[in-house]
Amino acid sequence: MRLYIAEKPSMGAEIAKCLPGPARRGDGFVETAGGIVTWVFGHILRQAEPQEYDEKYKSWRAEDLPIVPSQWKLLVDDDAIKQFNIIKRLIEQADELVHAGDPDREGQLLIDEVLDYVGNVKPVKRILLNALDEKSIKEANNSLRENSEFFNLKQSALARARADWLIGMNLSRAYTLAAQRAGHRNLVLPIGRVKTPTLALVVRREREIENFHPVDYYTIKAKFHHDKGDFCAVWNPKDIQVGLDSEGRLIDKDIADAKLAEFLDQPHNGLISDYTKTKKQEQQRLPFSLSSLQVLAGKRFGYDPQQVLDTAQKLYEKKLTTYPRSDCEYLPTNQFKDSQAILKNLQAFGDEKLAKWSAGADPIIKSRAWNDKKISAHHAIIPTRVPASADKLSPVERNIYFLVAQAFIAQFYPVHIYNQTKVLIAYKDEQFSASGRVVVDMGWKELYTAQTKDKAEDNSDSQDNNEEDSGTLPAMKKQDHVEYVEGELSQKATKPPTRFTPASLLAAMKDIHKFVKDPEAKKKLKDVYGIGTEATRATIIDDLIKRKFMITTGKKKYLQPTQSAYMLIDAMPDELSYPDFTAIWEDRLHSMADGDGSLEDFITQQVEFTTSLCGKAYGARFQVAATDESGQTTHICPRCKSGVLMKRRGKNGDFWGCSAFPKCRMTCNDKDGQPDLVEAQNRTRNYGNSSGTRAGAVGKKINFEASPFGNPYISEEEMREFNQQFQLMDSFSAAYSGATSTNSHTKFANKANKPTVSAAPLEHMGDNSKALTQDKYLCPKCREGHLRKIKGRNGAFWGCTNYPRCTATFDDEKNMPLIN
């Protein structure tokens, strides 16, 4: 028995229709004379969460990072247990399997991971479906390939999935914990290999706009007379012209006025110093990949990328268009024979323009799109041979189908041919220039003449359109004489860059080489596939909006970052916020799919990268939260200023400690629900004024003042003194965190080791606590703990065993605490 495993139920149903009948529908499968068809629905196996590897990972702790599975674990998704068991039973009964996942990296993994999970050893074939119409399915079923041929594609998909897990699980925890240390207690930061550099593009673009300062500049357009007709040309200032800025723009109006007056002076004789006429042609616009379809649909109709993908998927499932998640813009030559049938169907679609264009198409023309060397597992999105009817489609479906059909029809029109003319005019020792274009054959552009808006949108990011393009020029030649007629001075202003829209951001993700930081990497990455995949880019943009890191504004849905986005990107190292590394990895993933590189080497590199960034996260500096989750003003730690004082409950009552612990060990007592900063100030002052010979004791009183926001403030000089005194307390804590007690003195174990990390280092001392409470010096401050002699970095001193709730310290005098 042959078993087909499709990627989704709709695909399974279409395959079953094309197999010999009769067909009988069962629970989760369809049985036919040609075999049984079953299906998954997305990833019915999911990657295990960290806590499913080890219960300790349920709590997010910096010391556990990075989390790297020794054996990667997959689990059956709770919503898919029933279907998984059906598939498993059918695999056991089958003699041969047919892998019917989508023809891409992710589709390969979806079915392969199920086969691997159940330990399948039976032969597996691969069917590649780029369309779901009957003829396409039957042709594909007659051309089955060995699934083993796609092993490298599966390895590439596994590498992508595991790399995303390592980055997402570890760095989301690492940077969320860093944000919490700055007082952002309820903020969860989703860090992603593609998501983070994508958000950074929006943040940087917004800052370019915020920091943009418009510059006024002036241009002069002159009208010249030639025997064959008048034309306009633009003055090109020399590099040495006074009044130019660094970009070569004339910014001095007085000089511009003077030049305009100079040009008007007699004589008016000029000369054509150069004249070139070049015949040029533009090849037909290629059919669509998903990304190019999403970009144009966004510009033409304002659709967001996810909406375009969803609509293309619906058209695919209705058998009207080919596979939608394609990253290819070329077509296989063996499908050229279907062109006449498709063009004929488009005449009857019900759209006047498509009917006219398809009727005028020449099915003999073979454009550059038909190229087998450019085809991988799938091809460009085009209409199928199944007739479509406009009145049976929704408005969005009609528009997307229109774009797909328009691009397909364009392949059967001639190339666009025009003459490009460039003229240079010498006048009063200055140079003017003009260019013009004369269309020889409109060709395929006949289909796009109504969409002049497309060109304007394509050039929306440029500062200026071609100033010297004057349209049609009169026939002329070099050395012809011309006469200056008049000039016009125009004041212009530089414009800020345009905000991203979902469509233009998706285009930026695809052409990511334009945004990489390293110039050498920029050259290498020009031909990569971008960051993300055709199927995930729209989802990533949509997720950033849903998580409120970006908002859309205006009719064009311009993207603007929120305050959380600024905070996140500002805390990220360049390796995460710039797309260089991600783009290089995408290139390696594609190379792996072609057999170049191994899964093991790639994951090893990812682990090293993740480990490095987890270390950087520990030192990340986030903007300190001004208010807590209830809206109350926070108390910024007066010692480190990178954390906030958080109320904590200890076994002896409430106290306040810095959220940046253990980097900062600032503590103070609780007074009426607020940190007692005055008491902390007095304690520190008394400590500095106490007698003794320890080096570093500071006697100056630290002056805490209330800032306008109610937070404690001390000067930079006082902060240094305050920190110096608290360093001794840190020594006290570090020593006790590894102490063992014997009779009359304390021995310190692991002096070179890192102090034990806990909310209160001396709160849980195990067997030592009983011995410590037997000491004879009761702490005069809290009257709960006892004083113990500590060997600090600046000499011996005495501290309370109730630290950090009690931070009393006393000088040592003849092995006794000096208590005033």
- pLDDT by residue (tens digit) across 705-714? 333 223 333 3
Please answer whether residues 529 and 588 qualify as being in contact, where contact means their C-beta atoms are separated by less than 8 angstroms. no
State the residue for tokens 């063996």: 334
Q: How many residues belong to the chain?
A: 820
Give the span between the Cα atoms of 405 and 402, in whole angstroms: 5
Give the span between the Cα atoms of 226 and 222, in whole angstroms: 13
Two structure tokens written together for 17: 């229709």
Confidence of residue 656 (pLDDT cuts 50, 70, 90): confident
pLDDT at 449: 82
Nearest Cα to 803, choosing from 723, 683, 641, 674? Answer: 683
Q: How far is CA 116 from CA 121, 317, 509, 553, 569, in A?
A: 9, 28, 33, 47, 39
Considering only residues 529 and 787, tell me which one the structure prediction assigns the higher pLDDT: 787
Nearest Cα to 396, choosing from 322, 287, 326, 309? Answer: 309
Say whether the peptide bond before residue 804 is cis (omega within 30 degrees of 0): yes
**∠ CA 444-447-451, rounded to 5°:** 125
Nearest Cα to 170, choosing from 539, 777, 624, 611? Answer: 611
Give the span between the Cα atoms of 341 and 618, in whole angstroms: 63
Backbone angles phi, psi at 321, to 5 degrees: -135, 165
pLDDT at 683: 62
pLDDT digits (tens, 9 = 90+) for 7-51: 999 899 999 999 998 899 999 999 999 999 999 988 899 999 999
Name the most confidently modeled range: 176-180, 392-396, 434-438, 470-474.
Answer: 392-396
The residue type at 116: D
Q: What is the mean pLDDT of residues 89-101?
A: 96
pLDDT at 637: 80
pLDDT digits (tens, 9 = 90+) for 554-609: 988 999 999 889 989 998 999 899 988 888 888 888 889 888 989 999 999 999 99
Would you tell me how many other CB atoms lie within 10 Å of the CB of residue 639?
23
Nearest Cα to 107, choosing from 52, 39, 57, 164? Answer: 39
- Global pTM reads 0.72
3-state secondary structure of 421: strand
pLDDT at 711: 32
Compute the chain's Rg from CA coordinates. Answer: 36
Q: Does pLDDT of 369 surpass 80?
A: yes
3-state secondary structure of 487: strand
CA 28 to chain CA mean position, Å: 37
State the residue for tokens 């034990």: 756
Percentage of the chain lying above the pLDDT 70 cut:
83
Active site residue: 175, 316, 323, 687, which one? 323
Backbone angles phi, psi at 647, to 5 degrees: -75, 130
Two structure tokens written together for 32: 């036919």
3-state secondary structure of 703: coil
From the number of C-beta atoms within 10 Å of its C-beta (0-12, 13-18, 19+), residue 523 rates as: exposed
Would you tell me how many other CB atoms lie within 10 Å of the CB of residue 511?
15
Q: Does pLDDT of 71 surpass 80?
A: yes
CA 740 to chain CA mean position, Å: 50
Confidence of residue 777 (pLDDT cuts 50, 70, 90): confident
Please answer whether residues 736 and 803 qualify as being in contact, where contact means their C-beta atoms are separated by less than 8 angstroms. yes
Give the span between the Cα atoms of 262 and 274, in whole angstroms: 23
Q: What is the mean pLDDT of residues 250-265?
A: 95
**∠ CA 271-272-277, rounded to 5°:** 175
Q: What is the mean pLDDT of residues 136-141?
A: 92
pLDDT digits (tens, 9 = 90+) for 442-494: 999 999 986 544 443 443 333 444 445 556 788 899 999 999 999 999 999 99
H or E stretch including 173? helix 172-181
Known catalytic residue at 323: yes
Nearest Cα to 731, choosing from 640, 655, 639, 794? Answer: 794
